[in-house]
């Protein structure tokens, strides 16, 4: 794996592939994916006679499969797919090397933060679980959802149905048959429902939303349910510094915030969700609706003055935790919202904002009139692209890697950040 600092950060624009020159050995190609460093572009291709393969930078993979899907570059730049072999079994293929294990079905391909661990949801003989780096869970379950790999990839987890339910057995369901399985091993706790298990940074702990009856919602941490019950909850998060757990909770008809089972922000919002901690854990933020159709951002309990009527989405902390950016929408116009200020221009779509490592700059992929470009610190780049990937800042925050397709060429460019 090439470290980010060792990527090509020279200021230049380089055409990686003239797409039209790609050898026409396929019937069609699917949507392109590009590597994090921008040096590679890949497609799933149909080679005819129901055979599928992958074409990367003009080169075809040697093997073809009955079906290939879920083409993804991991954070380390390795290319993986899910492929159906001649025997009618699914497997993971990374850089053309298939796993030893194969499955009746595989999906939900995911990576650890560094890309070294690859996880996938699997089904064998109607039993469900996960496999990570070609190692299958020892125990599988009648059903599973919310397949999750820890950030380091050292553990994997899913919400599992611990026993079979006969059709229409509503009372057994209400006694609780769901649990969380970690590396295939379930908690002792069984609950009516569990959603969105979240690993802490070390992969040692898990918190999740749960329902203890049809009417009582709360948070479960490592199998232990909070004492307090609420009329609803949304996805919790672990504080990266203290490992305490916080989640938006609903009491009556209003939303507030609870930490480790205690209310720490009195419910007063019409809605409160997409709760996040700053990278150092000293701040938190969430999207809130102060009233019906009045959306804004709430940071450490105080709300911004700016409101949007249609949507606020993709809230993002800067690395130092001092700044927050988000996308806002009024009717069909999207805006970039940063530190309670709205950038002048409106767009047809605003993507997740990206802060520079030093937190001083903000780059946002935006779409206008069917073409994509970046808006950087409020200024829109003059060039636009037919397709464009998310901006990546250089480790010194001085440059941005741009990966885009224009005039049928895939190019990577490094642009300087002004100021």
Partner 1 sequence: MFYSIYTFLVEEAFFYVFSFFCIAIIFRLAYFTLHSLQNDPIVLKFFNLKYALRSLINWTIPFKARNMRLNPITFFVSYLFHICIILVPIFYSGHIFILEEYIDLPFEPPMLPDILSDVLTFLALVSGIFLLLRRIIYPPARYVSSSKDFGLLLLVLIPFLTGFLAVRGIGGDFLLFLHVLSAELLLLILPFTRIMHMFLGLFSRSYTGSEFGAIRHAKDW
Partner 2 sequence: MKRELAQDIGLREGIKRIDRGKIKKAIDLLFTKKAETRLKLYTSTCIHCGLCAEACHFYMSHKDPSYMPIAKVQNTIWKLLKEGANVNNQDLALIAQIAYTECNLCRRCSMYCPFGIDIAYQMAMVRRFCHLIGVTPQYIQDTAHSHAATMNQMWVKEDEWIDSVQWQEEEAREELPYLRIPLEKYEADVFYSVIGPEPKFRSQLIYQAAVIMNVAGVNWTMPATPGWDNSDMAMYVGDYELMGRLKKIHFETALRLKCKKIVMGECGHAFRSVYDTGTRWLGWKEPPLPIIHAVQFYYELFKAGKIKVGKTYPKKVTFHDPCNIVRGRGLQEMARTVVKAFCPDFVEMHPNREHNYCCSAGGGVINCGPPYKKTRVKGNKVKAEQLKRTEAEVVIAPCHNCHGGLEDIIHHYGLNMEIKFLGDIIYECMDKSTHPEE
Which residues contribute to the site for partner 1 (CB under 8 A)?
Answer: 291-293
Of the listed pieces 213-221, 278-286, 316-324, 392-400, which binds partner 2 according to CB under 8 A?
Answer: 213-221
User: Which parts of 253-282 interact with partner 2 (CB under 8 A)?
Assistant: 270-271, 273
Residue whose CB is less far from partner 2, 292 or 305 = 292
Using the rule CB under 8 A, is 23 a contact of partner 2? no
Q: How far apart are CA 60 and CA 43, in angstroms?
A: 9
Residue whose CB is less far from partner 1, 195 or 270 = 270
Using the rule CB under 8 A, is 127 a contact of partner 2? no
Residues 289-328 vs partner 2: string with x where CB under 8 A?
x--xx-x-------------xxx-x---------------
Using the rule CB under 8 A, is 329 a contact of partner 2? yes
Q: How far apart are CA 417 and CA 419, in angstroms?
A: 7
Of the listed pieces 56-64, 163-171, 373-381, 395-403, which binds partner 2 according to CB under 8 A?
Answer: 163-171
Phi, psi of 146 (to 5 degrees): 55, 55
Residue whose CB is less far from partner 1, 35 or 296 = 296
Least distance from partner 2 to the Cβ atom of residue 185, Å: 20
Residue whose CB is less far from partner 2, 115 or 129 = 129
Count residues contacting partner 2 (CB under 8 A)? 53
Which residues contact partner 2 (rule: CB under 8 A)?
27-28, 30-31, 50, 67, 69-70, 104-105, 107-108, 121, 123, 128, 143, 145, 161, 167-171, 173, 178, 192-193, 195, 211, 214-215, 217, 231-232, 250, 270-271, 273, 289, 292-293, 295, 309-311, 313, 329, 332, 348-349, 351, 367, 387
């Amino acid at each position: 794996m090439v470290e980010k600092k060792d990527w090509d950060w020279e200021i230049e624009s380089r055409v990686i592939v003239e797409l039209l020159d790609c050898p026409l050995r396929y019937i069609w190609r699917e949507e392109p994916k590009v590597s994090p460093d921008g040096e590679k572009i890949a497609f799933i291709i149909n080679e005819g006679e129901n055979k599928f393969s992958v074409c990367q930078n003009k080169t075809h993979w040697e093997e073809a499969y009955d079906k290939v899907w879920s083409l993804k570059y991991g954070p380390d730049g390795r290319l993986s797919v899910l492929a159906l072999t001649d025997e009618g079994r699914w497997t993971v293929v990374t850089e053309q090397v298939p796993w030893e294990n194969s499955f009746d079905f595989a999906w939900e391909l995911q990576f650890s933060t560094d890309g070294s661990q690859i996880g996938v949801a699997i089904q064998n003989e109607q039993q469900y679980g996960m496999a990570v780096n070609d190692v299958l869970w020892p125990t599988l379950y009648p059903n599973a959802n919310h397949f999750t790999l820890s950030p380091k990839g050292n553990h994997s987890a899913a919400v599992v149905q611990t026993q079979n339910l006969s059709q229409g057995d509503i009372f057994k369901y209400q006694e609780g048959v769901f649990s969380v399985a970690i590396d295939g091993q379930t908690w002792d706790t069984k609950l009516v429902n569990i959603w969105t298990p979240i690993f802490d940074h070390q992969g040692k702990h898990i918190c999740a939303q749960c329902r203890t009856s049809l009417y009582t919602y709360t948070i479960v941490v490592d199998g232990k349910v909070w004492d307090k019950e609420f009329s609803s909850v949304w996805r919790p998060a672990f504080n990266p510094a203290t490992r305490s757990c916080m989640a938006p909770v609903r009491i009556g008809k209003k939303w507030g915030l609870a930490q480790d089972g205690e209310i720490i922000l009195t419910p007063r919002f019409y809605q409160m969700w997409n709760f996040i901690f700053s990278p150092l854990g000293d701040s938190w933020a969430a999207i809130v609706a102060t009233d019906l159709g009045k959306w804004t951002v709430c940071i450490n309990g105080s709300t911004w003055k700016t409101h949007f009527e249609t949507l606020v989405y993709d809230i993002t902390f800067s690395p130092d935790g001092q700044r927050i950016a988000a996308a806002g929408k009024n009717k069909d116009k999207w805006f970039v919202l940063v530190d309670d200020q709205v950038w002048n221009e409106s767009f047809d779509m605003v993507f997740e904002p990206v802060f520079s490592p030093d937190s001083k700059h903000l780059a946002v992929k935006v779409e206008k009139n069917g073409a994509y470009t970046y808006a950087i610190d409020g200024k829109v780049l003059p060039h636009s692209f037919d397709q464009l990937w998310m901006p990546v800042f250089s480790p010194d925050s001085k440059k941005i890697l741009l990966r885009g397709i224009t005039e049928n060429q895939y190019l990577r460019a490094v642009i300087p950040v002004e100021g």
